[in-house]
Amino acid sequence: MEILTAVICDSAADYNGKLCILGTFDTIYAHRFPAIHPHCALALRIVFRTVDEGDHRFRIAFIDPDGRNVLPQEGEPRFEVKVAEIPEKASFISRNFVINLQGLPLEKPSLYSFDVHMDEQIVASIPLQVIDANPPA
C-alpha cells in the first residue's frame, strides 16, 4: 500500500476514479479561540498491490496539540482489496477516499494533524497549523 496523495482541502470528489481536489491548504488563521472551521475535506489516493489483498480497517484521527483525538469515532470502516480482479497487465489498483468534515474544533493556536490509520498503523500524517490572526498588541 502506498499513499500517493494526502491533503486537506476545501472540497474533493471521486469522478470516475479520478481524484478531483479544490483548494488545498495547511494553515488556518482564526481571530478568536476556541474556533470552528466550518467545512473541509481530506482527500486521499492510495495504491494497492497484490500483497495488499484482503480486508482492511480505516480510521482518521484529528490530533490536537495535547495529543488527543478530537473527532468522534463511529467505528472503523472496513473495505476489501482485490487486485486479482483487474486486467492481467495491471500491477496495482488505486482508490480515492474523500472524508468531508463539518465544524472542525480548534481550541487554540498550535500544530494539529490528521492521522490516517490503516489496520491500526499510521500510514499518513497531514499537518495543520492554526495561527492567531490578531496582531500582537
- Could you read off the pLDDT of 104-124 as tens digits, one per residue? 999 999 999 999 998 889 999
Amino acid at 17: G
Amino acid at 61: A
Residue 79 lies in a domain: yes
CB atoms within 10 A of CB 60: 20
Contacts of residue 54, defined as CB under 8 A and 6 or more positions apart, other chains included, come to 80, 81
Residue 126 lies in a domain: yes
Quote the pLDDT of residue 75: 55
User: Beta strands 54-63 and 78-81: pairing type?
Assistant: antiparallel
Q: What phi, psi does 29 have (nearest 5°)?
A: -105, 130
Residue 16 belongs to domain spanning: 2-132
- Could you read off the pLDDT of 32-85 as tens digits, one per residue? 999 999 999 999 999 988 888 888 888 899 999 999 998 877 655 666 776 666
pTM of the full structure: 0.87
**Which CATH number fits the domain that encloses residue 98?**
2.60.40.3880
As for how many domains the chain has, the answer is 1
Residue 97 lies in a domain: yes
If DSSP codes are grouped into helix, strand and coil, which group holds residue 85?
A: helix
CA distance 69 to 52: 27
CA distance 2 to 20: 19
Residue 137 lies in a domain: no
Residue 122 lies in a domain: yes
Residue 124 lies in a domain: yes
Residue 59 lies in a domain: yes
